[in-house]
Amino acid sequence: MAQLAITGGEPTRRAPFPSWPVITPADQAVLLEVLNSGRWFLADKVASFEKAFAAFQDAQFGVAVSNGTVALQVALEAISLQTGDEVIVPAYTFIATASSVAMVGGIPIFADVQPGTYNLCPDSVEAAITERTRAIIAVHVAGRPADLDALGELARRHKIYLIEDSAQAHAAAWKGRKVGAIGDLGTFSFQASKNLNAGEGGFVTTDDRRLAERAWSLHNCGRAPEGAWYEHPLVGGNYRLGEFQAGLLLSQMGNLEAQTARRTRNAELLTVLLGGIEGVSSLDPDSRITTHANHLYIIRYQAKGFGGLTRDRFIAALQQEGIPCSSGYKPLYKEAAFRTKFQDTSLVSPYFKGKPDYDRVCCPQVERICAEEAVWLTQNMLLGPEDDMRDITRAIRKIQEHAGELGN
């Protein structure tokens, strides 16, 4: 008789995991308030949200923008990135981390990640620095702060900027301080999947007044903060956030701390439960991470604990057991986008010793993680009761016991 759901047996779990977003009466109230006010553009809600979210992330200044991708573009333009400047990014991230660099005329240079953290490896970053390197974009992948001590030290020593792509890391903290303005600039996303969500939205944080003023100007048609409406000292875009989204973000922010705490509790329990199963593990603990945002829970899978069952077959089996999961990112330098972007360029990159040629890039850790190790669970799965975590590990144990029935 079939045991595993993938071969026709009963799934471990039929109940859905908590849905996302979580909608409250406060959300309805604020949206009606904005609607009825008739003030749908740059008014109280955007101003209040900018203040509240910057303070929440321990940043002195904040600019609300349309999404996390343009937040990165604004941050890069705020540091006056020039055409042909190189920016080091991890090869394990969402495409926007690297495409934003190319969008503003820079050359993305991909560095490898650490096997135990999936975040930028400082040695790999240092090896990629050239005389044209202007910035490092550290991504807090899965909501886990990158090593801001090592990367900050590296940036200072080489006199380059450190930008924190915190799109997955609302509320995350490094040594007691929230991420976003530990580096020179930070960026956030409020796209639908993120831990703070208004469908779309983004944010730039910094403690540097000059960078904050440039970011504000760049997101608002190049106007000056104190200047006249039809006076434009810079060339800027319109990357403003609307009042409806800012209002919704203010009300959604009311849930963020409690949701973060619940994800933390469930993630810690899941880590303990996984610790008892051979062939699966969690990323390495680090006492400097004082809050993990758990945008994703990443399981490290080893086929040898499952009789050689491949990671992709394991994922298919786990999904059938009623546990939604996925394999996540691909090595970013393999995307056609970067090859296409630079194929006819006249730019000369010191890193590539010629024109950018992404076919030559290889980050061994990222290759291995993407091909055979990573299993992603999304943040909403950590918002329910503890028993949900037990269902996840029950399903994994069941697959382990019956792996022989699956072939590879």
Ligand X SMILES: *Cc1c(COP(=O)(O)O)cnc(C)c1O
- By CB under 6 A, residue 191 contacts ligand X: yes
Phi-psi region of 175 (alpha: psi -120 to 50; beta: other; left: phi over 0): left
Cβ-based neighbour number of residue 48 at 10 Å: 14
Helix or strand or coil: residue 178? strand
Distance CA 309, CA 246 (A): 47
User: Contacting ligand X (CB under 6 A), which of 96, 249, 323, 366?
Assistant: 96
User: Contacting ligand X (CB under 6 A), which of 17, 49, 61, 94?
Assistant: 94
- By CB under 6 A, residue 165 contacts ligand X: yes
- By CB under 6 A, residue 202 contacts ligand X: yes
- By CB under 6 A, residue 195 contacts ligand X: no
In whole angstroms, how close is the CB of 17 to ligand X at the nearest point? Answer: 20
- By CB under 6 A, residue 171 contacts ligand X: no
- By CB under 6 A, residue 97 contacts ligand X: yes
**Helix ranges restricted to H, 276-378:** 311-320, 336-342, 364-368
Residue with tokens 């730019």: 347
Kindly write down the DSSP assignment for every residue of 326-354, as one continuous string. B-----GGGSHHHHHHHTT----BTTTTB
Q: Dihedral (C-alpha) 256, 257, 258, 263: value to the nearest 10 degrees?
A: 80
In whole angstroms, how close is the CB of 172 to ligand X at the nearest point? Answer: 12
Q: Among residues 96 and 212, whose Cβ is nearest to ligand X?
A: 96
In whole angstroms, how close is the CB of 133 to ligand X at the nearest point? Answer: 20
Per CB under 6 A, the segment of 162-170, 259-267, 319-327, 366-374 that binds ligand X is: 162-170
Q: How many residues bind ligand X (CB under 6 A)?
A: 14
In whole angstroms, how close is the CB of 329 to ligand X at the nearest point? Answer: 10
In whole angstroms, how close is the CB of 148 to ligand X at the nearest point? Answer: 16
Q: Among residues 5 and 267, whose Cβ is nearest to ligand X?
A: 267
Q: What strand order describes the sheet that includes 202-206? A: 61-65, 202-206, 185-189, 161-165, 133-139, 86-90, 107-111
Determine how β-strand 173-174 pairs with β-strand 374-378: unpaired
Could you tell me if 111 and 93 are in contact, meaning their C-beta atoms sit under 8 angstroms apart?
Answer: no
- By CB under 6 A, residue 68 contacts ligand X: yes
Per CB under 6 A, the segment of 152-160, 161-169, 177-185, 265-273 that binds ligand X is: 161-169
Cβ-based neighbour number of residue 249 at 10 Å: 26
Per CB under 6 A, the segment of 12-20, 67-75, 175-183, 385-393 that binds ligand X is: 67-75
Could you tell me if 167 and 201 are in contact, meaning their C-beta atoms sit under 8 angstroms apart?
Answer: no
Residue of minimal Cβ distance to ligand X: 68
List phi, psi (to 5°) of 206: -165, 160
In whole angstroms, how close is the CB of 166 to ligand X at the nearest point? Answer: 8
- By CB under 6 A, residue 328 contacts ligand X: no
Q: Among residues 113 and 309, whose Cβ is nearest to ligand X?
A: 113
Residue with tokens 């930070």: 186
User: Contacting ligand X (CB under 6 A), which of 168, 365, 380, 400?
Assistant: 168
For residue 52, give both structure tokens: 């509240």
User: Contacting ligand X (CB under 6 A), which of 74, 121, 151, 167?
Assistant: 167
- By CB under 6 A, residue 69 contacts ligand X: yes
Q: Among residues 195 and 217, whose Cβ is nearest to ligand X?
A: 195
Distance CA 261, CA 383 (A): 9
Could you tell me if 98 and 89 are in contact, meaning their C-beta atoms sit under 8 angstroms apart?
Answer: yes
Contacts with ligand X by CB under 6 A lie at 67-69, 93-94, 96-97, 139, 165, 167-168, 189, 191, 202
